Structure 1
Amino acid sequence: MDPAALFASVTGMALPRAAGVLAASGLPVFPCVPGGKRPLTSHGFQEASNDLSRVAAWWRRWPGANIGVPTGRASGLEVVDVDRKASGSGFPALHRARGAGLIAGWQAVVRTPSGGAHLYFPADPSRPQPSWQAAGPHIDFRGESGYVIVPPSHVGTGESRAGYVVAGGPDRGIAAVDAARLRDFLDPRPEPSMTRARGVIRDGDAERLAAWVALRGEGERNRGLFWAACRLAEAGVDPTVTMDALGPAAEHAGLPPREVAVTIRSAYRAALATPRAGAAYGQGEAPRRGRRVESQVLS
């Protein structure tokens, strides 16, 4: 698959037609809110499909829906998401990572509405890599349990509308990204202990909590994130580790980044103040129910 050529081929198309073309190419897609990033389907990216009849039915129901694509093994694509916001730009960190040989070459570059970039890489099916966020360097990685919005989707409405646009094709020496090495380079930290506090947290538990949070629907997303963060806080997990584990999942469920950060901080305050703070939901049970891409990217 050549994602640059594929995304270029749907540029200028109406969203329902573009979704059908992408699905016909074998790329699984799912609908997100018009002008936004929140999934419209009950289970979000986990329902992504390249079944043409199913995709057509989605876009008949929501003709203005943006197009989401799951990352990781589901699509064969992984994405390095370079943010550009008022709080800072990820392009300097990307330039350092390239200089260190951690990013060898991409398949496509898509300019995002904020002026950032999505860099697409081939996923190695034998080595699934989880999604993560590195807030300081302003770079995120979208792998397993992640998704991105793709062209010709747009964010905003009216005159303020900005789109996802192909900004570059394949680079020389295309290779999969070693996401763990990239994260250690961008955001080094000590290894966390995941075996404390009454055996609540074991290897893989953080990932299971993240998967559970990602499935929360409207009305239970914030509460579910709070409960999961309390579990990790009670286990002595560092707050930055919790943010990296639960943050992408909560955003995929539809919570904005600021609300995610505030909820996790609140959970840690509650857990530290009261050892069983999160259990208020039921004895430890889960609650029930456009600018240009900066020039150094392409240099």
Structure 2
Amino acid sequence: MRAAEHGYPVIPLTRGKLPAIRSPHRGHPEVPPCRGGCGRPGHGVHDASTDPLTVRRLFATAPWATGYGIACGRAPHHLIGLDLDTKNGADGVIALRFLAEEHGFPIPQTVVVRTPSGGCHLWLTGPPAPPVPNSAGRLAPGIDVRGAGGYLVGPGSLTTHGRYVLAPGCASHPAPAPAALLHLLAAPPPTAHRDPAPGAPPQPAAALVRFVRTAPDGQRNARLFWAACRAYESGLGRELTERLTEAACHTGLSEQEARATIASAAHR
């Protein structure tokens, strides 16, 4: 109710983070798909509302719900969620810092929700149009985007893996997404490969080296490992080994430490 009062449309969720109300059209799918026009609950994120009476009815229909979802892309906030994960060799937090450095935008102070898996959700606001699409790993490994038609698990929700909680000291209101980040979020996946100019290193390669070279204390190994993983994924691992090693040594790592980290990334 508090989320709805602050303008966030909500729906009840199960412990599995799925909409708690089953579709009224199960077994008899509508063509085109019904998005709530029938007036009955059970249309997932399309049921999300800020109206107190509607919210109470939704949760009364699903007393087994243990959490709530917040619809993204809806007025008044037009919420955008960045799901930063830290598993399967990816680190969404480091990936976002790399993108911010490569494209020159700040990571704003905003609402941060910690997830049971050790990751976090960053809440940002966007313009009414164009809508930001949902995506998984398109922006960078470890970053999933919740946009129009998607939802975020609200803080306080209990799931099978634990509870979602607000990060201590985070902002109380979501910050506007930087323009450069919005451009990346709205951009379609690349469809064509363009070779760099003769004699010039590919821009992603140069950005990876710069990302390692500017690593602050406490992030040197993590940045090097992440950059080396991305280099090997792009087929540039062997080509960039010496440049990444040199960049890591510039931050204070020994050559032995740097090469061990790069070898670990190559193995991964």
User: What TM-score results when the alignment is normalised by the length of structure 2?
Assistant: 0.54
Aligned pairs (5 A) from 1:12-27 = 20-27=1-8
C-alpha contact 2:112 2:170 (8 A) present in aligned 1: yes
Displacement of 1:122? 1.1
For 2:129 and 2:189, the matched residues in 1 are separated by 25
Of 134, 139, 144, which residue of structure 2 is paired with 1:131? 134
Q: How many residues align?
A: 165
Q: Deviations over 1:172-231 (max 9, x none)?
A: x943243442587xx973259xxxxxxxxxxxxxxxxxxxxxxxxxxxxxxxxxxxxxxx
Aligned pairs (5 A) from 1:1-299 = 20-33=1-14, 35-41=15-21, 42-65=42-65, 66-74=67-75, 75-100=77-102, 101-134=104-137, 137-156=141-160, 161-167=161-167, 168-170=169-171, 174-177=175-178, 178-181=181-184, 189-190=190-191
For 2:89 and 2:117, the matched residues in 1 are separated by 12
Displacement of 1:69? 0.7
Displacement of 1:86? 4.0
Distance 1:29 1:93, change over 3 A: same
For 2:175 and 2:54, the matched residues in 1 are separated by 33
Query: Please, what is the CA RMSD of the aligned residues?
Result: 2.8
- Greater relative contact order structure (CA < 8 Å, 6+ sep): 1
Displacement of 1:24? 2.3
C-alpha contact 1:102 1:182 (8 A) present in aligned 2: no
C-alpha contact 1:105 1:170 (8 A) present in aligned 2: no
Identity %: 35
Displacement of 1:104? 3.5
C-alpha contact 1:81 1:139 (8 A) present in aligned 2: yes
Displacement of 1:106? 4.2
For 2:144 and 2:61, the matched residues in 1 are separated by 32
C-alpha contact 1:90 1:138 (8 A) present in aligned 2: yes
For 1:58 and 1:77, the matched residues in 2 are separated by 21
Distance 1:143 1:182, change over 3 A: closer
Q: Give the structure 1 partner of residue 30 of structure 2.
A: none
C-alpha contact 2:111 2:175 (8 A) present in aligned 1: no
- Greater percentage in helix: 1
- Secondary structure of the residue aligned to 1:49 is coil
Distance 1:44 1:106, change over 3 A: farther
Distance 1:56 1:175, change over 3 A: closer
Distance 1:142 1:62, change over 3 A: same
Q: Which runs of no fewer than 5 residues in structure 2 stay unpaired?
A: 22-41, 194-268
User: What TM-score results when the alignment is normalised by the length of structure 1?
Assistant: 0.49
Displacement of 1:98? 2.5
For 2:89 and 2:142, the matched residues in 1 are separated by 9
Displacement of 1:29? 0.4
Report the AA paired with residue 53 of structure 1.
L
For 1:62 and 1:40, the matched residues in 2 are separated by 6
Distance 1:132 1:103, change over 3 A: farther
Displacement of 1:56? 1.2
For 1:146 and 1:44, the matched residues in 2 are separated by 10
Larger Rg: 2
For 1:102 and 1:155, the matched residues in 2 are separated by 34
For 2:47 and 2:101, the matched residues in 1 are separated by 38
